[in-house]
Structure 1
Amino acid sequence: MEVKTTGEHINQILWQACDTFRGKIDSSIYKDYILVMLFIKYLSDTYKEHYEEYMKKYEGNEERVRRALLRDRFILDEICTFEYLYNKRNDVEIGSTINKALEHLETENSGKLRGVFRNIDFNSESVLGKTKERNAMLKQLLEDFNKLDLRPSSLGEDDIIGDAYQFLIEKFASDAGKKGGEFFTPTMVSELLARLVKPKENDRIYDPTCGSGSLLIKVVNQVASKKVAVYGQERNGQTHSLCRMNMFLHKIDDAKIEWGDTLSNPLHLDDEGQLMTFQVVVANPPFSLDKWAIGFAGNTNGEENKFKMEASLDPYRRFEWGVPPSSKGDYAFVLHMIHSLADEGRMAVILPHGVLFRGASEAKIRKEIIEHNLLDAVIGLPENLFYGTGIPACILVIKKNRNRDNVLFIDASGEGNYEKGKNQNKLREEDIQKIVETYGRYETIEKYSYVATKDEIRENDYNLNIPRYVDTFEEEEFVDMSAVKNNIEKIKSELKEIEEQMEKYVKELGL
């Protein structure tokens, strides 16, 4: 019986492959080389197995085999295969050979892979060092990956490659500290958002700051048939590439993932050139992004510091309820998401707590969101859940055409609602269930949740700070001073007895 390749084995080999770069290159950079190589190895092993199957089926008729392979998910020529690159591992031009293979793979699969590898250079002296050390690293990388058998028939579970990719991205995020938060949302936080928005079959799902795509994939996985349309946009070129590969490895082949600044250049537009709308929108945008509006500045003749964002500069009219402060882009993303919501659409977004109570234009925007009856829930999360920041965050759940006009507040930040970790705290399955069930029942639970009326929120001047609504204050236990006094007297008396006993022993020993 053929031994199956387990997820554990794949993860072990991948982590070994990372040792090739550790100490030489920052993990936020070398992650791209590892993840691209995993993608190539998987495509190659799948192609190789299909080639052998077709050769058997068509009794060695090369032309029929070639035609059959053209109908596969990806087309690979010999020079794009991992085997070809592995056999060239000792060549002095190996970096250039890998680059050419990637370029050819893009060309042959231009409908799916156009631009996926444009941000990675296996022949870069500035990143990988001079020829000798660069070649030594690339040779080692190819040898590490050669230990992996990723043919579909040898893989134990259906999602094993996608899971391995996720494993690596999460490891890199943990390793990269602050930079990690830019491309990865912790798994259980993504899971929570996915369950809050309840995606359904045939929904259009959108993440305007999609990073490496982990949050989108969690939302897709909520739908058993996976029959949904997936859209995302990401500003960072490398991360955009990771996201597209991540989608393919999770068998989401028709995801539309665009590269660009979502705020100044949203790329998912309808036939009229307006913002496309979606039934489900989720996001973990960068917290309090400084200079978020710089893309609207146009030609400032070198006077960037004098640029002031105004609602009229946005052709999509997203900022008519207020222009967020230039140093804090949180509500810019929220407003973009609201304008991207279809009727009956629902969205969940992770934000820093400041959005709940900061004043000026943010207070004005908050008021509009509440008065338009869009805010469905505010959920406070524990501190230290995210990569690169210890601050506690919150989730805003927003819905179009709600059938109620109050707002549920949940404080899930207290002890007992998460697992404490050495470097990072984690949400457990029971913590997520408690939040989702409370949201589903939409009820007040002492010291955990509170259903506030719109009038209460108005009375609080549209301040949404959770402690104003959920009282988690624990009363100090009553201290009985006379009992304390009696206890002290008792201890003194016992101490006196012990001292007398000690003195007796000392005398007996003649000391």
Structure 2
Amino acid sequence: MEINVLESWLYQAANILRGPVDQSDFKAYIFPLLFFKRISDVYDEEYKNAIEEFGEDFDYLHRFIIPKGCHWSDVRKISENIGAKIHECIRAIEKENPEKLSGIFGDTQWSNKDKLSDEILKDLIEHFSQNNLSNSEVKSNTMGLAYEYLIKKFADDSNKSAGEFYTPREVVKLMTMILDPQEGDSIYDPTCGTGGMLLETYEYVTSQGKKGETLKLYGQEKNLTTSGIARINMFLHDIEDFYILRGDTLREPAFHEDDKLQTFDCVIANPPFSLKNWGREEWANDPYGRNSLGVPPASYGDYAWVEHMLKSLKDDGKMTVVLPQGVLFRGASEGKIRKQIIDNDLIETVIGVGEGLFYGTGISTSILVFNKKKDEAKKNKIQVIDASEIYKKDRSQNYLEASHVEEIYNLYKNYEDVEGKCRVVEIDEIKEENDYNLNIALYVDKIEEDDGITLEQAYNEMIKAYEEATKAEKELKLILKEMGVM
């Protein structure tokens, strides 16, 4: 099946759910059903091929076992209590494949008839039954691409809540190019969402003509449904060597080596911005020593993620992470942590990216590159890139085009001063002249335009400055409150 036909057909399933189901919940219903249909069709194909080659008496080992009475065709025969039958089948499949599929279908309430009537479920089942999704009909690469397309479409539909599970793919591509993973590397995403960042590292290595299957992919995701979607994502891309576990990374990290955190060659992540109630009380006595640089404030969990990731990074490891730009200049406990990170020469590059690139937030964001083994020429320096004007503006969601990704990456790669865009700064200057403040504007000057601005532009700039000042005042009050000043 052609990819554009497959994508269109799969997305049409969402139209059946519109009305009774919120757009932000489409993924919780459609992705499990899509995977159920895919493995049922592949199961039939494997059985047919085995009979043709070896005869009916051959005991063929399927990739995934589907118990008797729990095939897609068994659900299709039902006209009443369809949701209960779906629930029965997917739980039985999980039970028969505990090592690979335990919990993969999420916790959707299929038998809730107030939300999903038998008529709606019947329409949905019949829609997915229109086409065969076996390997001979839909190759794994095509299936994987269509799945990624659906993830993006559902992110576009839900917008505000999409940031919890989806990072725009061009941003991920840029982060991966900078990370530059190699064959055999272990890759870790502590907030893996639907698995897009892990998948991009696989595709990056493969695109270099190397063996992406040699990568060892690790991810942790708090949300059960989203972690299931991530695992489905890997299987549909025909990736086997991955470990995606559910859990709260800051409170209960999933990957260990004896009594220590497991460490990885590469870490890549887009953690929740300025997370509140992130576990500060437990962090103060963290058994893994993740608080060695300090304990972040209760109202901002950003540096908790940074400390966790640094602790999870090998001594020669590298990581790229998306963070709000507030981490570059906020003071108090965050300032003390930032000071130690800079003193230890762990930051390689700071990239300020365009506004409105991420779903559900308009705040200024940055990509930080950490490197525990900098090249000699980069030691005791931090590269600061202002890419805030390098993006495509759109009415609902700004985005990076391929040319923008290439331009920002070249600024990073060339590692030289470019007026208005990039500067390589000595750490001594950051310490002595700016008191460890990494605010991008302190190091990269905007190129002044000669044409001047209109009255309307000046008014808009004034309003924007007022909003930023109000926000900064609120943040200052929170910090002072935590310090006991207020």
Counterparts of residues 420-499 of structure 1 (less than 5 Å): 420-458=393-431, 459-477=433-451
Structure 1: which amino acid aligns with 2:92?
Answer: H
> In structure 2, which of residues 1, 4, 7 is the aligned counterpart of residue 8 of structure 1?
4
Structure 2 SS opposite 1:385: coil
Q: Distance in 2 between matches of 1:267 and 1:314?
A: 14
Structure 1 SS opposite 2:245: strand
Aligned pair 1:288/2:286, yes or no?
no
Give, in angstroms, the shift of residue 76 of structure 1.
Answer: 2.1
Structure 2: which amino acid aligns with 1:252?
Answer: I
Q: Distance in 1 between matches of 2:275 and 2:131?
A: 41
Q: Would the aligned equivalents of 1:385 and 1:392 in 2 still touch at CA under 8 Å?
A: no
Aligned pair 1:109/2:84, yes or no?
no
249-258 vs 273-282, greater mean Cα deviation:
249-258
Q: What RMSD, in angstroms, separates the aligned Cα atoms of the two structures? A: 1.6
1:277-300 per-position Cα deviation (integer Å, ceiling 9, x unaligned): 000000000000011116x55xxx
Q: Distance in 1 between matches of 2:115 and 2:241?
A: 32
Q: Distance in 1 between matches of 2:450 and 2:428?
A: 32
Give, in angstroms, the shift of residue 373 of structure 1.
Answer: 0.7
Give, in angstroms, the shift of residue 118 of structure 1.
Answer: 4.5
Equivalent position of 1:186 in the other structure:
168
Structure 2 SS opposite 1:264: coil
Equivalent position of 2:310 in the other structure:
338
Q: Distance in 1 between matches of 2:397 and 2:45?
A: 42
Q: Distance in 2 between matches of 1:28 and 1:37?
A: 16
Q: Would the aligned equivalents of 2:28 and 2:106 in 1 still touch at CA under 8 Å?
A: no
Give, in angstroms, the shift of residue 87 of structure 1.
Answer: 2.4
Q: Distance in 1 between matches of 2:360 and 2:34?
A: 26
Give, in angstroms, the shift of residue 120 of structure 1.
Answer: 2.1
> In structure 1, which of residues 182, 186, 201 is the aligned counterpart of residue 183 of structure 2?
201
TM-score (norm 2): 0.88
Structure 2: which amino acid aligns with 1:12?
Answer: S
TM-score (norm 1): 0.84
Structure 1: which amino acid aligns with 2:236?
Answer: L
Equivalent position of 2:57 in the other structure:
63
Q: Would the aligned equivalents of 1:210 and 1:233 in 2 still touch at CA under 8 Å?
A: yes
Counterparts of residues 15-414 of structure 1 (less than 5 Å): 15-58=11-54, 61-64=55-58, 67-68=59-60, 70=61, 72-88=62-78, 90=79, 92-125=80-113, 127-128=115-116, 134-155=117-138, 158-224=140-206, 225-226=211-212, 227-270=214-257, 272-293=258-279, 296=281, 310=284, 313-402=285-374, 403=376, 404-414=379-389
Q: Distance in 2 between matches of 1:253 and 1:7?
A: 23
Q: Distance in 2 between matches of 1:31 and 1:475?
A: 46
Structure 1: which amino acid aligns with 2:41?
Answer: D
Structure 2 SS opposite 1:63: coil
Q: Would the aligned equivalents of 1:10 and 1:148 in 2 still touch at CA under 8 Å?
A: no
1:370-401 per-position Cα deviation (integer Å, ceiling 9, x unaligned): 11010000001100011111223100100012
Structure 1: which amino acid aligns with 2:398?
Answer: N
Unpaired runs of 5+ residues, structure 2, are 454-486
Give, in angstroms, the shift of residue 437 of structure 1.
Answer: 1.8
Give, in angstroms, the shift of residue 158 of structure 1.
Answer: 4.3
Q: Distance in 2 between matches of 1:280 and 1:419?
A: 29
Structure 2: which amino acid aligns with 1:117?
Answer: F
Give, in angstroms, the shift of residue 149 of structure 1.
Answer: 2.2
Unpaired runs of 5+ residues, structure 1, are 129-133, 298-308, 480-511
Give, in angstroms, the shift of residue 151 of structure 1.
Answer: 1.8
Do the aligned partners of residues 363 and 126 (structure 1) sit closer, same or farther apart at CA in structure 2, a change above 3 Å counting? farther
The percentage of counterpart residues that share the same residue type is 43
Q: Distance in 1 between matches of 2:341 and 2:405?
A: 26
Structure 2: which amino acid aligns with 1:198?
Answer: D
Q: Distance in 1 between matches of 2:39 and 2:288?
A: 40
Give, in angstroms, the shift of residue 446 of structure 1.
Answer: 1.0
Give, in angstroms, the shift of residue 14 of structure 1.
Answer: 1.6
Do the aligned partners of residues 478 and 178 (structure 1) sit closer, same or farther apart at CA in structure 2, a change above 3 Å counting? closer
Q: Would the aligned equivalents of 2:350 and 2:384 in 1 still touch at CA under 8 Å?
A: yes
Q: Would the aligned equivalents of 2:140 and 2:237 in 1 still touch at CA under 8 Å?
A: no
